């Protein structure tokens, strides 16, 4: 499981509602579609080559390697998503497809445990020689995660045995021994995966291997400097220039890092593993480093949509407060990695701010990465798009103005799939003395709390409506603490137990409502988080957003689109006195809230580039919809931040 406090996926059921619909879409459409993509059977889509590469490495067919040096990881993430799906919804056909591809993977694996088709098919004499650029350990991490998920879902050891053999080889190769490689991953991932492997196998040596990689990172002499010289490289890629090895989070030891830096996905995968190890080893220095990195990430590098990673050149963090909108990279994988980090931080300390970030990032940045039909995807998630400019400008060359069927670099689509098939790992925590609710969604679950079997049912239309009803049914009357997140966006929550009002302020502990009592079958907790349209303003140092507001209702950030508001969205102004109306349109975009307000539109009075004449102001009505739903009605302009007048 993702963390020790997670509820096993078969024990939780998402029956209806916003998140349940997305999870069902992944099961019914996305997983089969992505399997076709990985087998190069999607007309008009970029070729994957992923399954082909394993078949060639396994000797099942003739051919050459196709794709990028980390292409293998796409299959690993798909396997993890498919395994999570099997855990909650058994499917004999999918189960059989997985068995066949696992057999191919096992045949491709070398006798010593090595597994990386790019190296095996193109440079078999170069294993482990280019860690800063090639992704052998990153790929290993994703396969380890897939092996753990498959074992937990099916009880089969077929893939778990493959990844244990791979992990054992890594343990032999890497370490501080005289004859060992003293390096560490160029792209972090294996560290968090090794912790998962240790938890499922009971082999604590995998935790120690993860700790080696974390502790060795950024130490002196810098491993990558030696590798750089050994390869005879004349210069590093341009995105290394600002701070050399900081791009790989290897410019200093991890405990000395204070500000997120470098490639954003690598960074949050690293921070996730650091939090894992802080918990596993009781390492207070790692915990403190995680706290500092979390604080500065959220304070300086965090988009209103929950995205991170502003800089397209190197897919990395920009400087403090540098959060451009039209050229935002805001990668789906980075958002998913931030969710991983937030979930681990909740295990270190139950604080509402971690779940708030998890929710904002999931509901906005991550869900925007997939079309409502489940067959098209975004890699990059900007907060402003003008198609004509995006197609012309070099600094927006990665921005897609419409979702696409597949990518040559397809890390994001299967990452979204594995996240949405494992939602149960993020919604709740089982603690020694009770249960915590992090995300609100219609669901039911069974678990053991305080030594007693507990059935728990939550009914809600969240995120469209803030009313939540929770029914508690312990097998026997039992005393435990129910902790319910108080969303940071809500100013005036209310709660009651069996109709009796609860004093929120008296029971608020770091953003969670603590209800400590003897619970009996049929007890009902009622929550109400009033949802009104809020104007969100950025810190003045975020110069891209000066004089503008973002609109938010509940956890959903809103945007305006050309199809509803005409082109030249930058000419819209929202008066400070404007009042909002809202309605739910069941026929629009599978059902969505629609926000409208009286606004202004600027109109040029002449064709001069510069003029002392003031533009004409006309009245109009703006229509705003959830950002996560944008571009499901064709290509057009989109904008999150609206100028205020």
Which residues are the active-site residues? 315, 411
Q: Are residues 629 and 585 in the same domain?
A: yes
Q: What is the count of structural domains for the chain?
A: 4
Give the model's pLDDT for residue 240: 73
How far is residue 315's CA from residue 248's CA, in Å, rounded to a whole number?
A: 11
Give the model's pLDDT for residue 4: 87
- pLDDT tens digits along 408-465: 999 999 999 999 999 999 999 999 999 999 999 999 999 999 999 999 999 999 999 9
Give the model's pLDDT for residue 58: 98
How far is residue 167's CA from residue 438's CA, in Å, rounded to a whole number?
A: 33
Q: Are residues 405 and 280 in the same domain?
A: yes
Give the model's pLDDT for residue 227: 84
Within-domain flag for 236: no
Within-domain flag for 55: yes
Within-domain flag for 383: yes
**What value, to the nearest 5°, has the Cα angle with vertex 415 and ends 414 and 421?**
85
Give the model's pLDDT for residue 458: 98
- pLDDT tens digits along 477-527: 999 999 999 999 999 999 999 999 999 999 999 999 999 999 999 999 999
Q: Are residues 546 and 480 in the same domain?
A: no
Q: Are residues 426 and 484 in the same domain?
A: no
Q: Are residues 512 and 578 in the same domain?
A: no
Q: Are residues 175 and 144 in the same domain?
A: yes
Within-domain flag for 231: no
How far is residue 620's CA from residue 346's CA, in Å, rounded to a whole number?
A: 45
Q: Are residues 266 and 383 in the same domain?
A: yes
Q: Are residues 327 and 418 in the same domain?
A: yes
Q: Are residues 410 and 489 in the same domain?
A: no
Q: How many helices (H) and strands (E) does the chain have?
A: 20, 22
Q: Which residues of the chain have pLDDT under 50?
A: none
Contact 6, 65 (CB under 8 A): no
Give the model's pLDDT for residue 15: 86
Q: Are residues 514 and 538 in the same domain?
A: no
Within-domain flag for 12: no
Within-domain flag for 203: yes
Q: Are residues 59 and 173 in the same domain?
A: yes
Helices (H), 410-566: 412-420, 424-427, 504-507, 562-565
Within-domain flag for 222: no
Contact 420, 23 (CB under 8 A): yes
| Residue 398 burial by Cβ neighbours in a 10 Å radius (0-12, 13-18, 19+) | middle
Within-domain flag for 21: no
Give the model's pLDDT for residue 225: 87
Give the model's pLDDT for residue 2: 77
Contact 324, 548 (CB under 8 A): no
User: Domain span at residue 325?
Assistant: 253-431
Select from 449, 4, 360 the least CA-distant residue to 198: 4
Give the model's pLDDT for residue 208: 98
């Amino acid at each position: 499981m993702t963390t020790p406090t997670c509820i096993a996926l078969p024990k939780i059921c998402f029956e209806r509602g916003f998140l349940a619909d997305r999870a069902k879409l992944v099961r019914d459409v996305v997983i089969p579609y992505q399997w076709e993509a990985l087998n190069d059977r999607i007309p008009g889509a970029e070729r994957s080559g992923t399954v082909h590469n394993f078949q060639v490495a396994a000797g099942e067919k003739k051919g050459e390697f196709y794709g990028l040096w980390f292409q293998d990881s796409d299959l690993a993430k798909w396997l993890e998503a498919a395994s999570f799906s099997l855990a909650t919804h058994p499917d004999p056909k999918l189960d059989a497809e997985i068995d066949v591809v696992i057999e191919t993977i096992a045949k491709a694996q070398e006798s010593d445990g090595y597994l990386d088709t790019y190296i095996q098919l193109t440079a078999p004499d170069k294993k482990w020689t280019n860690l800063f650029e090639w992704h052998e350990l990153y790929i290993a991490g994703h396969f380890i995660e897939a092996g753990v998920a498959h074992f937990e879902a099916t009880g089969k050891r077929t893939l778990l045995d493959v990844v244990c053999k791979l992990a054992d080889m890594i343990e032999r190769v890497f370490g501080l021994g005289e004859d060992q490689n003293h390096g560490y991953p160029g792209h972090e991932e294996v560290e968090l995966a090794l912790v998962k492997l240790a938890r499922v196998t009971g082999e604590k040596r995998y935790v120690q291997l993860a700790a080696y990689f974390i502790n060795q990172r950024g130490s002196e002499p810098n491993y990558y400097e030696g590798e750089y010289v050994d390869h005879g490289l004349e210069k590093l890629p341009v995105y290394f220039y600002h701070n050399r090895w900081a791009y790989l989070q290897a410019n200093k030891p991890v405990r000395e890092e204070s500000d997120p830096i470098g490639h954003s996905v690598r960074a949050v995968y690293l921070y996730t593993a650091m939090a894992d190890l802080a918990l596993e080893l009781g390492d207070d220095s790692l915990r403190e480093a995680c706290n500092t990195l979390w604080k500065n990430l959220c304070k300086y590098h965090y988009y209103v949509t929950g995205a991170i990673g502003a800089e397209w050149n190197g897919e990395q963090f920009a400087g403090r407060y540098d959060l451009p909108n039209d050229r935002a990279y805001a990668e789906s994988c980075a958002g998913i990695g931030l969710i991983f980090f937030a979930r681990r931080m909740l295990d270190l300390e139950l604080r509402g701010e971690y779940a708030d970030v998890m929710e904002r990032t999931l509901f906005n940045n991550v869900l925007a990465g997939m079309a409502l039909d489940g067959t098209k995807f975004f890699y990059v998630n900007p907060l402003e798009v003008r198609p004509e400019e995006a197609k012309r400008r070099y600094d927006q060359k990665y921005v897609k103005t419409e979702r696409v069927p597949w990518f040559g670099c397809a890390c994001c689509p299967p990452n979204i799939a594995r996240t949405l098939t494992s939602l149960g790992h993020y919604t709740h925590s089982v603690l020694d003395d009770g249960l915590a609710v992090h995300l609100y969604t219609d669901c039911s679950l069974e678990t053991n709390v305080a030594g007693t079997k507990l059935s728990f049912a939550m009914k809600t239309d969240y995120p469209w409506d803030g009313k939540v009803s929770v029914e508690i049914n312990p097998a026997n009357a039992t005393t435990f603490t129910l902790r319910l997140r108080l969303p940071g966006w809500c100013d005036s929550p209310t709660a009651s137990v069996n109709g009796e009002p609860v004093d929120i302020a008296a029971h608020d502990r770091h953003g969670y409502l603590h209800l400590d009592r003897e619970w009996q079958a049929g007890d009902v907790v009622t929550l109400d988080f009033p949802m009104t349209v809020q104007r969100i303003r950025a810190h003045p140092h975020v110069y891209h957003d000066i004089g503008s507001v973002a609109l938010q209702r509940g956890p959903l950030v809103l945007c305006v689109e050309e199809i509803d508001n005409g082109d030249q969205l930058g000419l819209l102004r929202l008066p400070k006195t404007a009042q909002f109306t809202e309605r739910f349109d069941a026929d629009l975009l599978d059902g969505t809230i629609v926000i409208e307000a009286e606004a202004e539109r600027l109109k040029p009075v002449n064709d001069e580039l510069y003029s002392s004449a003031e533009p004409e102001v006309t009245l109009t009505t703006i229509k705003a919809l959830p950002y996560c739903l944008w571009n499901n009605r064709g290509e057009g302009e989109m904008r999150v931040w609206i100028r205020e007048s």
